[in-house]
Amino acid sequence: MTARNGMCRRAASATRERAAEVVAHVAARLADPAEVAASCSGAEEQLWQPLSLSDGHPGVALLFAELAAHDPAFLRTAHGHLAAAARGALPDGGLFNGVTALAFAATASAAAHAGRPAYRTLLQQLDERTARYCALLSDNERERRAGGPAAGPTAWNVYDVITGLSGVGRYLLLRGDAAAAGRATRTLVSVCAPVQGDRGPVPGWWASHGPGSDADTYPEGHLNLGLAHGAPGILAFLALAWRQGCRVDGQRRVMGAIVDWLLERAGTDSAGPYWAYAVPPCNGVPPGNGVSTSDAVPSGDAVPSGDAVPGGASGTAGLPARTAWCYGSPGIARALWLAGHALEEPSWQQQGLAALLAALERPGADWGVHDASLCHGWAGLLQIVTRMAHSCPDAGLEPAVDHLAAQALNAFDTAAPFGFRQHLPSGGPVSRPGFLEGASGTALALHGYARAALPRTPWDAALLLN
């Protein structure tokens, strides 16, 4: 071992120790469900949603479930947040809200019980509700598409990771509900069939609105390129379903078509491939392909600067989208790698890795990262790169893992109610305790880094990373 390598290893060790300290601090701030809810209720920005993975008790429970998998003393705290979430009304919803959010958190908490039965009755009830919700979304979409290509745009809450079948289906896979997961898979395959746009056929995940508040930029709607709301999320789900043996007619073909569609929309700079936030609807869907092969604008056209995309994304025309889980190359890279792994297509895996390496090579000032959240911050990047480093052990990603962990730790603020502050499009910092956009998610990524290990509970399945 050279002196330089020794210094790097000592620095990484110190960073891991610091990460463990920060996780302990965040956990202490989040331990009391009533205090967390009260702190959020008194905030100027009312973002708290008790039954949400993003900003509620289920998301906080995910942190304590993972901690409990290493130290059973945290089981009581995880249960406290689950109980607080279950006290109110339990509406149906996607993976990040309502019944499915509570079910996902309960599943993670059950996994922390080291094989002992936990939450069986609750999960049976929630699983039945989630399966019925999946059937409702699927049946409604089938009826809507009964007229063929004239069906028009598809709502995000039919197919995306946050509210739609890509997220709900991931939960059903996790629970081993083959029938309901198969229904979600068939519906998502059908969603990719072309529909008729104003100027010709377009891919079926065409949304009638813009990716954010910029309706004027996308008067005919848009085709989303982000993992959270677009085709990469569908691809990631179909890949994970295939790996688990959930396979339906047309699934392989549609996966290949989405991969081709994404690769055709990649721009290229000196670092390598990149993607915009979205592209407008387009003409020219070859018969039988399921997705379009040409756009009305160059693939480099991104969402204009400003708060056009939820979460504060601020792309510039001709440049990559921000570097994040929700939008940009890292999330797409993981989806491509998962698809290649599922269908034994090494070139797709190589394309995914190349896209991630290119994103990491660009100057950090161009990444558009403003906080340490999972959705669009340092923690999400840390978890993606950690997963890719495990999947591609010869890719040399370990220094990037250390760097991203250090960046997340730089955002730690002892004066913040939960240890971290998050960035809003309006510009003001807020303190959010939850999973997707809050301190719990940041702490989860840092906890894995501190232990130099992958999660023991399936918390990052909610991000469709594994």
What are the binding residues?
Answer: 326, 375-376
Q: How many residues does the chain have?
A: 466
Which of left, alpha, beta for 208 (phi over 0: left; psi -120 to 50: alpha)? alpha
Q: Identify whether the C-beta of residue 170 lies closer than 8 Å to the C-beta of residue 462.
A: yes
User: Residues near 400 by Cβ (< 8 Å), separated by ≥ 6?
Assistant: 360, 385, 389
Three-state SS at 197 = strand
Binding site as annotated, residues for Zn(2+): 326, 375-376
Q: Report how far apart the first and last C-alpha atoms of the chain are (Å, whole number).
A: 33
What is the distance, to the nearest Å, from the Cα of residue 168 to the centroid of all Cα atoms in its chain? Answer: 13
Closest CA to 106 of 155, 61, 147: 61
| Secondary structure letter of residue 62 according to DSSP | H
CB 272 within 8 A of CB 357: yes
Helix (H) or strand (E) holding 195: strand 195-197
Please give the C-alpha separations between residue 140 and each of 4, 294, 410, in angstroms, as whole numbers: 60, 29, 46
Segment holding 13, helix H or strand E: helix 3-30
Residue 195 near residue 206 (C-beta atoms within 8 A) = yes
- Longest CA pairwise span in the chain (Å): 68
Alpha-carbon dihedral angle through residues 126, 127, 131, 133, given to the nearest 10 degrees: 20
Give the number of other Cβ atoms within 10 Å of residue 322's Cβ.
Answer: 28
Q: Give the whole-angstrom CA distance, residue 303 versus residue 325.
A: 16
